[in-house]
């Protein structure tokens, strides 16, 4: 708290209060689990601050009075208390009021998996910050992640454009539309069980909502493309008449294509012409096995049809060949699991959804936790034999890295090594070296032409995230502090991390990041996994 007060930038204290408001927010309660009576309410928290008059509680109360919403009586109570205390000595805090929003931009990608809504704001003191809110369409057009950076919109755009992948675009938004997008996304996220969480979300939710409340109402939020049955039939006709679909033109494959188009139009982005590797995974690893009741011999033909249809759809939509190749590779990767799943008897429909939540289905929660831990280390056998021996101090492996990539990899390696030596330790250095070597050998083009600092920051961020470095109290380090070592902001690094994960053959989900191997886990993280494993088995 002392550091936040002494920090000339307001964002540290604003973020701290936002976290407190999240902890006391009733929206995080799970209706399917017993209420947590040990969690303080906002009224109780405020009363505890009022009972201890000092500069620190004065600062907290001042920010709570401005940032909290929906309880005018409580805010009036705070302001009466503040009137009896000396004014805050921090200049920006003394004149704190609602921020002024100056600009909003939507960053999107041609595959349509999600959008980043960027909202730039300024305090009365002149301090600028930008909220970056990621709305994921594949999980219900909800806020899956967000963070706030002490930077102007121009700075954020510069960083994101350096780190962006092909097919990315930036469009200005009406402020009312930006509010509608974010407010609707937050509302859906608050109803999602279990909630999506990252090192910054939903901890920054109150701060983001403080900003969006200043925006005009009446805007238009996200709208999915309209695909009625007539339009879908026309698309199917075009596919079967094309060179991609002619060999599949029979009743069975027409029925399967109807299934693909149903998923493509009613789920995710709602556009059946855009297929990312994530969308492919959702369809093959979950949606068809869970939702479609049909003979396995019939469903088994879906992957081959998908390969042809994805190539056709991306040609029609003008999607880059890189993304077509990724989607086809995802079909190859998930087909073995898919073929097993459609032959396994199991629950389908609503019962399957309830089973995933562990509601009234007799689900073994301990087993589900063990499955999650196994996914972190590479399987149940690896989990059974996991140890906490420290990662060795090993040199970087240059096998398979040649040509023009060598110089850029060497520059990145220098930066990651220096960061680990100065901020982390030898184990983290080894893990970062292993990750960098794997990505460089698999796809050296993934390093792009942007700043090497951003790539190096992404490498360390991935390893840190996989080892719970940024989770309190496990690691306790803030992302912005680690990124400051590279002279970069948090914004661009998660985008670059997605690219590196794909290039390395990992799951590209940066929210629930799992590398699926003990090779990248430091001893402290493995020790924690062992303890959780043993606790599950003891229960």
pLDDT for position 365: 60
Q: What is the pTM (predicted TM-score) of this model?
A: 0.74
Secondary structure (DSSP) of 32-74 = TS---TTSPPHHHHHHHHHTS-SHHHHHHHHHHHHH--S-HHH
| Alpha-carbon gap, residue 278 to 381, rounded angstroms | 27
Residues 488, 509 contacting (CB under 8 angstroms):
no
Nearest CA to 63 among 101, 103, 19?
Answer: 19
Q: Give the span between the Cα atoms of 168 and 148, in whole angstroms.
A: 21
Question: Which of 257, 199, 246 shows the shortest CA–CA distance to 511?
Answer: 199
DSSP string over 351-373: HHHHHHHTSSS---HHHHHHHHH
Q: For the chain of 539 residues, list the mean pLDDT of each consecutive stretch of 10.
A: 75 92 81 64 91 91 91 91 89 88 95 95 94 93 93 90 85 97 94 84 94 95 86 94 95 93 90 93 90 88 96 96 92 91 66 51 65 89 93 93 87 94 94 95 77 90 90 65 77 76 83 88 93 82
The span from the CA of 286 to the CA of 221, in Å, is 28
Give residue 2's pLDDT.
Answer: 67
Q: How far apart are CA 131 and CA 119, in angstroms?
A: 5
From the number of C-beta atoms within 10 Å of its C-beta (0-12, 13-18, 19+), residue 339 rates as middle
Whole-angstrom Cα distance, residue 234 to residue 236?
5
Predicted pLDDT at 109: 93
Taking the domains of the chain in order of start, what are their residue ranges? 2-94, 100-212, 229-341, 405-521
How many Å apart are CA 477 and CA 106, to the nearest integer?
29
Q: Give the Å distances, CA to CA, from 538 to 192, 194, 460, 462.
A: 30, 24, 35, 32
Find out whether 135 and 143 touch, Cβ atoms under 8 Å: yes
End-to-end CA distance of the chain: give it in Å, rounded.
38
């Amino acid at each position: 708290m002392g550091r936040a007060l002494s920090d000339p930038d307001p964002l540290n204290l604003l973020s701290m209060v936002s976290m407190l408001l999240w902890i006391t927010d009733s929206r995080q309660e799970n209706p399917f689990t017993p209420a947590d009576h040990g969690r303080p309410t906002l009224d109780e928290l405020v009363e505890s601050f009022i009972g201890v008059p000092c500069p620190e509680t004065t600062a907290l109360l001042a920010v709570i009075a401005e940032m909290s919403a929906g309880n005018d009586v409580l805010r009036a109570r705070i302001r009466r208390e503040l009137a009896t205390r000396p004014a805050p000595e921090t200049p920006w805090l003394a004149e704190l009021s609602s921020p002024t929003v100056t600009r909003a931009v939507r960053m999107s990608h041609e595959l349509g998996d999600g959008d980043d809504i960027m909202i730039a704001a300024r305090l009365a003191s002149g301090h600028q910050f930008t909220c970056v809110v990621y709305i994921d369409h594949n999980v219900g057009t909800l806020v899956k992640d967000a963070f706030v950076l002490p930077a102007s919109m121009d700075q954020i755009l510069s960083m994101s454009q350096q780190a962006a992948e092909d097919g990315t675009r930036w469009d200005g938004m009406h402020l009312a539309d930006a509010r509608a997008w974010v407010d609707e996304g937050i509302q859906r996220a608050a109803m999602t069980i279990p909630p999506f969480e990252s090192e910054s979300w939903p901890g920054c939710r109150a701060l983001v909502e403080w900003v969006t409340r200043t925006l005009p109402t009446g805007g238009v939020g996200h709208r999915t493309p309209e695909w009625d049955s007539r339009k879908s039939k026309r698309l199917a006709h075009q596919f079967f008449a094309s060179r991609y679909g002619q060999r599949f033109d029979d009743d069975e494959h027409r029925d399967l294509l109807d299934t693909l188009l149903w998923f493509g139009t009613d789920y995710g982005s709602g556009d059946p012409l855009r297929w990312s590797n994530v969308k492919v995974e959702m369809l093959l690893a979950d949606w068809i096995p869970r939702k479609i009741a049909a003979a396995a011999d019939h469903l088994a033909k879906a992957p081959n049809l998908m390969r042809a249809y994805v190539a056709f759809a991306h040609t029609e939509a003008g999607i880059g060949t890189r993304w077509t190749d990724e989607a086809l590779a995802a079909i190859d990767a998930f087909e073995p699991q898919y073929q097993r799943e459609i032959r396994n008897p199991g629950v389908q429909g609503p019962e399957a959804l309830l089973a995933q939540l562990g509601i009234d289905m007799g689900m073994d929660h301990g087993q589900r936790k063990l499955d999650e831990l196994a996914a972190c280390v590479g399987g149940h056998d690896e989990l059974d034999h996991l140890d906490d021996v420290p990662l060795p101090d090993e040199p970087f492996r240059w096998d398979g890295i040649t040509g023009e990539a060598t110089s850029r990899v060497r520059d990145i390696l220098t930066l990651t090594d220096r960061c680990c030596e100065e901020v982390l330790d030898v184990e983290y250095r080894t893990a970062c070296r292993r990750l960098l070597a794997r990505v460089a050998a698999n796809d050296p083009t993934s390093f792009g032409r942007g700043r090497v600092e951003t790539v190096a920051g992404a490498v360390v961020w991935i390893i840190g995230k996989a080892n719970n470095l940024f989770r309190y109290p496990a690691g306790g380090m803030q992302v912005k502090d680690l990124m400051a070592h590279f002279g970069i902001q948090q914004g661009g690094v998660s985008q670059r991390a997605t690219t590196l994960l794909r290039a390395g053959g990992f799951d590209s989900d940066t929210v629930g990041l799992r590398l699926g191997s003990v090779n990248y886990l430091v001893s402290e993280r493995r020790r924690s996994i062992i303890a959780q494993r043993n606790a599950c088995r003891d229960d």
